Amino acid sequence: MLSILPKMTILRKSEIIECLTKNGLTMKKVYLMFLLCLSVIASVSAQAPTPGSVLPVDAGTHKVTYLEVVDATGVTAANLYKLTKEWAVKQGLTIKEDVANEKLVFDGVNLMDYPNVGANGQDKGKVKYTYSVFFKDGKARYIMTDFVHENADPKAAANGGRLELVSAECGSSKMSAKGWQTIKAKTGTHAKTLTDDYKRVIKEYQNNPANKTDW
């Protein structure tokens, strides 16, 4: 089989040094250029956001927000209300506001570990949020927002604060950039897991023949 790759010339170390020297570059200059390139690469890597750490921000409230209208065709508002209440209890959510068949508002907490300002240590904390659901016949609308980080130790004064912030409220001496991005990434994962499960529960209720009335 013929190779379609172009032929590559492999230079020996002595030939590389000779080539650089002829172009006015000393080994010291080459070494310094190499160190400069490494520092640039390290800086770019440090600034790159952790995958999943960019969270959706609502244009109106300017808060991190997960919002969706879930199709629940064939399910009454009363049944959606009951279904949501039962699901929320299993998820460990706490009822904050309860308007029968119309609205449920819950307080939620997501516990997590994340890198501290040290070399290899971990901090423990939690992200609080609200999870609101509104009901109409045939559909439910959830809004997950008001995300706020708190350190597990109140005396540590290392609260990240609102997740809309670019950097942690407590400052870089208490919270590393990597730690703050990790908190956001884990919050995004938790939000997706929670909302996906809520939609799953509604879909299963819809598909259950025992719940259908149009027969």
What DSSP assignment string belongs to 139-155? EEEEEEEEEEEEES-GG
Token duo for residue 110: 């997501």
Q: Report how far residue 174's alpha carbon sits from residue 168's, in angstroms, rounded to the nearest whole number.
A: 9
Q: Report how far residue 153's alpha carbon sits from residue 125's, in angstroms, rounded to the nearest whole number.
A: 8
Which domains does the chain show, CATH number per domain?
66-111+126-151+184-209 (3.30.530.80)
pLDDT tens-place string over residues 147-175: 999 999 989 899 999 999 999 999 999 99
**pLDDT at position 14:** 56
**pLDDT at position 183:** 97
Token duo for residue 30: 């080459």
SS3 (DSSP) at 97: strand
Q: Which residue has the higher pLDDT, 120 or 124?
A: 124
pLDDT tens-place string over residues 21-39: 555 556 555 455 544 444 4
Q: Residue holding tokens 């997740």? A: 163
Residues 6+ apart with CB under 8 A from 130: 96, 105, 106, 107, 108, 143, 144, 145, 146
Q: Which amino acid is at 71?
A: D
SS3 (DSSP) at 103: strand
Smallest CA-to-CA distance from 190 within 157, 170, 166, 163 is with 163
